[in-house]
Structure 1
Amino acid sequence: MTELEQQQARAGVSNAAFSRQNALSWLVLGIGVLATLFIWSYLVEREERAAHREFLLITDDITSAIHKRMIDHEQILLGGAGLFDAAVEVDRDKWRILVERLQLANNYPGILGVGFTQVVRANVLSQFERQIRAEGFPDFRVHPEGERSLYTSIVYLEPFEGRNLAAFGYDMYSEPTRQAAMQAAAESGKSWVTGPVKLLQETHGVIQAGILMYVPVYYGGLPVSTTEERLAALRGFVYSPYRMGDLLAGILGSLTPGVGYRLLDTAPGLDNPTLFSDIDDTVTSPALTRTVQLSLYGRDWQLEFESTPEFDDRYNNSGWVPFAGLGISLLLFLMATLLVLRRDQAELLAHAMTQQLRSSNAALRQSEERQRLVLKGSNDGWWDIYLNDMRFIASQRAWEMLGYPPTSDFQSLHRWQALVAPEERHKLIKLLREALQSDQSAFSIETSLSHQAGHRVPVLLRGAIQRDESGLAVRASGTMLDLTEQKRVEQMKSQFVSTVSHELRTPLTSISGALAIVNSGSLGEVPAPMRKMLEIAETNSQRLNHLINDLLDMEKLAAGKMKFELRTCSLKELIDEALAANQAYAQSRGVNLVSHGCHDVLVRVDSMRLHQVLNNYLSNAIKFSPQGSQVVIDVVTDQDTVRVSVTDQGEGIPAEFRDQVFAKFAQADGSDKRKQEGTGLGLAISRELMAQMDGCVGFDSEPPNGATFWLSLPIEAQAEVQAEATAQVQTPSVLVVDDDPMIADFIALVLRKAGYLPTTSVTLKGAQQQLQETHYDAMVTDLRLQDGHGLNLIREVRAQAALAHMPILVVSAYCDEGQRLMHGQVDELLAWLDKPVDEKKLLSMLDAVMNRARAK
């Protein structure tokens, strides 16, 4: 092609691009650009709203945590003041014991101590100093020196060590900022906080802003109804000093992700009003800011919050949208233009693509048909969950398994969760959450679903997890297998084993007893040729009896029929009993039993079942240990758990058998000629028994150096056992009502950790009976209960005069339904919290509704 032809061709292409025939391409470009702008604007706005919501939640949590902790500190000082009010005489030892019981370092990090400063009149100053010196402080003086009409000397300050030694004897009334707060506390009779000061404890390290809280103490028997009377009766102040940096770090901990804050004292005339700041001043334009006013004990504080660059970056992920949208729009424009310019080629391409699409559709139909036939043949149902918007869809067979009419529409995942049996719901959600949060790509879970007719349908859920580029789970798909027939067969097998075992036990007991009587010589001397055979018969009848007992135990555990009486027991006593019970067997085998580190700790167990586990461990260790060796039982405690280990000197456990150690009928040597007898059920039973007592089992082995089998149990705290009788008086009681026992126990655990005394009920009738028999300070209830609706319980409570003002927190997946059924009725002492339960929100909302009840 000549140069002139090339120029003409380029001109033709250019003219065609701007021709009327290409208007559709320009329309596509315009729509693409407008759509890009709209999507970008929407994403930016959504990110800003999400960032603002999270920012408000975090700053509210910080403000609430500071407010609550300062109230806690006031309660500590009021307790110290109460000691002076109640005791005839308070000395240094009593003060030290009081403060040690508070465990400040563990429970209230950031507080330097709790002290008492005594008011000393000028005319008795010398006498006061001589009195303190006589207590063992020969160099004591009230400082700073100087003549004043009134002195206040720090007498007690615990812990009396480290930084606190510098404050002993200090007259806080001599410093204006401290004096103003002390004067206000004395005149009002209320707790008071100082402005920012430099504490005497700032003897080394980085100097932090400090504050002090004062609670006035008055002489008993004197009138304190007026300001003048209170000043005349003033005995001193119980107080605490705080380094603000340490205090706020102890209060907030990890509550400030992505948010910087500054705490200011807004009183006028302060040289440096900043109490603490972790705001990066180099960041000049944070995306979000907030200011909160906080008034506490005579001081007006101001919290200034700023989002950090890391926080802002989390909600600034839409910058790629305009570039991607513009690129796609240009690509579509070019494709449309090429289609216009190359109509013939486009028609050919469309024809080829049509053929390819038809071929693909035919292959897809064949594939779908094969899958349908496979699922139909296996009698499985299928399901598909989109995790981004929590929607799911299930096949006709899946709905038929549960007795519901099939639907091809997407459903809310909450409906599917509602079909899970209440006793299985918490376990299933936990297992699914673990699978989604891990890196596994498939899972298999057995659970129970509720049939429309009311019965339970056991199913096997198998699924595959699809993840995005970052590894986040976005979709889960799989099958659902009805296990009703399989469970029925298993139950028949279990019943058969149980029936056979029970039927064998009676004649076997008679046989064993008869052989024992014959072998004992009670019926006359046994002829020597017969004695050996009778002994063999007696031994094997005993082995068969052990096998039957093990089979019955496994059947009871599998059916959930084994009863456990959990009580607080001494672990040392249980171990000693197990050692004594196995001593004769050990001597017969030439094995020595040794015990190490048997600490006397308390555990909550069924003593008979734990004795069974220990006997199993010890008898196995003795059985597999060579003659002349020793079996060691060792006890080790670690914070709130205790571990009991039994170690033998046998050949150890082969590597190929380790995965089967705790399986039913598992034996390393399964041949008919094995050296050691046994059923292979003992360890399987031990594992199930420990699981029922909140314990766990395991083993360690390095052949040929023997094996160590261990069990672990939570320690029952001594303080909790001693305080059990008085806990109802000291802590607020809460009735927890939920038809799912696991959720009820979980809520009770959260409340117990927060200082409440919870009681649980899984039925409406049980809750009604408990409310009649016991006084509760609050109630937490679900709506859909096994024998009624939670709103009926709430209406009954409100109808009773004694319970009309009880604070109630509804924790349910059906809060919307419950609020609609209230028909717009307003109840200030009723709060709503959606499931799943969030520990922080649960405690926050319960505190709020109980505070509203106290205010009424």
Structure 2
Amino acid sequence: MDRADKPSSPSLWPRLVPRGGHLLAFAVLLASLLLVWMAWSSARTREMRAAEQQFASFSDEVTEVVLQRLVQYELLTRGGVSLFASVARPTPRQWQSYVEAMGVPERYPSVLGLGFAGYVPNARLPALQLEWRDSGYGLLSVRPRGVRPAYGPVLYLEPRRPENVASIGYDMYSEPRRHAAMESALLTGRARLTAPVQLVQDGPIPRTSLLLYLPIYRAGDQPRTPEARRESMQGWIYAPFHAAEMIDMLIAPRLASRHARLRIVDVTDGGEQLLYDGGEHDGTPAFKRSFTRAVYGRTWRFDFASAPVDQAVPGLHALTGILGLGLVAALLLYGVAFALARTGDRARAIAGRLTEEYRRSELRFRAAMQYSAIGKALLDSRECIVDVNPAFAAMFGRSPDALIGLPFESLFELREGESLLRDDGEGVWRAMRRFQRPDGGVRHVHLTYSPVPGTVGQDVAGLLQLEDVTERLLAEARVHALNRTLEARVALRTRELMRANQELESFAYSVSHDLRAPLRAIDGFSRILAERYADRLDEAGQGYLTRVRRAAARMGELIDAMLQLSRLSRSALKVETVDLSRTVAEVIEDLQVAEPVRRVEAVIEPGLEVAGDATLLRNLLQNLIANAWKFTRDRDPARIEFGLTAAGEYFVRDNGAGFPQEYVDKLFRPFQRLHTEEHFAGHGIGLATVRRIVERHGGTIRAEGAVGEGATFYFTLPGPTEL
């Protein structure tokens, strides 16, 4: 800070401290402020404590309402247990009558139904399916497919809505979260809740849902040990429901009336899984309360947050008014006396400060004019130059004295009748202009004119600023010329690519027509030779002839594969939503039908959908699954997996022969093989086709493997709404 910026007035401390008759007023002010503050603070503390106790009672009441509703759900499932106690296994009609009598849809809107899932060891599954079919219930298809020690398929689920019917046969025991609750209910004999799951009835719509399971043991059995319970296990009565809808229906009006917020989080497994988040969310809450409750084998945390202070503690409004009145009264008494003593000093201080600010403003303006790199000139009311800075004079190649007094418009090249200065109603205007320097050089400038207030001086009416943009304009012209050159090169390269594509199409035509004629001749004459002269050829000659015909046939197959690969890049994509999980299941089912003796364990993640060409994507999956099927023929049992990684990559994994990782680059090249024809037949074109299909859909593909440990192919595809 320079001397001009340092305050020249005396110290402020003597003026701030009361003197003489003001000392008593200052003491009264301090005492009154202290008393008002103490009274207000005590009353505020009482109000806050009372409001906090009310909030604690409210949170306990809301929690109890939620837990009581779960108790009602347990009683609902226990009614189903009673039905099984009276009937060994109720028929679907008896189960439907029971659920209708309970009035589940009307009494519990958030419950999707009441169902029964049987406990079926692996050895009893065929007998159950046969019993189910003989009873006239139709084919019981347990899904997801696969061999497991035990199953928990849905057998009954009422009311009979389409989405409930679609879940019949779903093996809940195979899904980890459902399995954990079902296993705990089996071993303890008590009702158990699942962690948040995605219900089969909801389809792909993400919703927070729970299932309450209650075990059923054979009639008359009262097993006391976990082993005895498993031996006597018959199944589970379960009730699926939407947690958020159930809780919101119970407590939303209560939360709204108190402007409160509630979050319910499942913290059983150490992590946090949100079950419900409702109520008011705006502002900083006055109170917070968090506690946990054991809920049917799970641990729930209830996080309550009250409304902001002004809503949670309404009594503070009256206290704030009283505090304000007390402060105003105390300050008003002191302010009247003290203001009179301060008025004279303030007037003198303001006058001195304004004078100093005016002087500093003048110095800053002059410094900005003198050292600015932009040309600046001051104009009078007749549009003549009053003053210029060095940058302005250097721009025109003249001295500052030679420019003063000249009409501003005389410096530029103007057409007849044209004027630079114009009034557009706002005073400030901008324009691009050119002028010629005394040395003959032509310059282009960006001109900005703005009016100057009259307080600067009566002889100054406007400020003119010039920025030399000659080099920028020349650079832009060079860029435009370069762009035109690049466009010409792009057009040339495009024509070359089109010509190359035409040559490739001609080559494909030649392969499909010209090369087939010699192959047909070789195959035909060799067949005639084998038919007519077989008796004249020895065993070696007949072997050679067979190898010739086999080689000709393989050549024809390679030509077909090469043509198929070339067509992949020319056909138009027909984009639609494709269910990859279902397609993989169909491909594996076809392969299993073709080779029924093979034992293959297929693990398919359900509900994986993408947007793409259905025909090409089926071709892609056929090649990958057939590849895994082929290379796992020496494994018993073989295992093929299909799913989606956390990074968003689809994968096909097998436990087959594998391949050396250092040769991974050869996998996706046409006609490149890592295994001999005698061990694993093929044309070497399948993985090249897979790569071409993935790239046509804008994705990528890679592979990982090890000899004797299987292989995994990872690929990416757009989601259902990305193409």
Shorter-chain TM band: 0.3 to 0.5
> TM-score, structure 1 length as denominator?
0.35
> TM-score, structure 2 length as denominator?
0.41
